[in-house]
Structure 1
């Protein structure tokens, strides 16, 4: 592989693709399609649907591979992630080798490669290192604020983007009243003192099955937890994000 294009695709809605992304997808030799198991087959299907919708170059091949699972037995979280990323990089290399080692390859990245996504870190593990081109996409944070029709920041104010793990372990970040929380499979908002806090939550933001809820955290927390469980059971997977705003 001589060149790797990391293409942000937003939530998987083909209308989120930029013209730059469409051009790049039609200019590569192959597009990598990761499979995450039967329970998350929709994610691979969405990538296939995007390719079917916008790739008109019949010479572009789709190269599918099974994404390795993270070993949750390793006690240290960062080491678990490092080992997982190494395994993913090796899987990319094996898949491309089996496909005849195409020179120009694209990988479709949910949201944007810049925001709480490790695709760039995984790409850095490839040897020999390809030239990497990043094509920006719509982030889940943008899709969330669009769903609720709100700006991400208060007037002249700062905001923080963090993870559910950080919120759970370290509490509300110091010095800001508005935080955007990603990657929160444990509903850490339920552990925050709810007084004076408004939550803006969305699952599948920007997608056809988008669900958005907002309101006083004390009232909304149990409702969101129940809705999240319902949606995950219905779809087999869930992507959600939320903003907490403290008065």
Structure 2
């Protein structure tokens, strides 16, 4: 049961030794070209201890294990499940390689979203799950100070949101309010899965431009509208495809028997 005491424990600040530095490449060309492009090269970074594009920033983060430990401390029976499943009964990933989850702690369920920054393979799946835990945990206040972007100007030192004060770019403006109204209406009106792919590509463009921040209230609100409709139309397309193949198979058998 979620009580004020449980909520307070979830929001407790993590000690410095539990906070790591996550590199985030800010050059789109580098992100799409294995970490380098014509203007930037991959070099060793002592701060995040890895080979990464010179065009990157650092985000403060708490690792998967420490986030899980915090969940267990407050609720040994906490649980998570994917928001949707694929045809094999496995967690369904969206067209961006992201995973929506339902995270339940102390009887309260909230959504979370995680991705592996374009990586593929088994390790990428585990990274996406861990990222979804961090994102969903933030909805409960876990490591909330590391996500916060609007720190008081008088506070010196690195911003707790992750970017150092010297490297922080001006915050991007959100999408035009009319765009939000129109895209939501298009999602509700979509009749085919291909339409949802096209809508998803336009939403993705807003993320890439920095006008929508992953994990923000806006991103979560869009996901809650987009994902169920996408899964509905995907299921309808798969059902129609199976019906078509079954019809073709019956016709083939019928022709074989009559010949």
Fold conserved between structures, TM > 0.5 = no
Name the structure with the higher strand share.
1
Larger radius of gyration: 2
Q: TM-score, normalised by structure 1?
A: 0.26
Name the structure with the higher helix share.
2
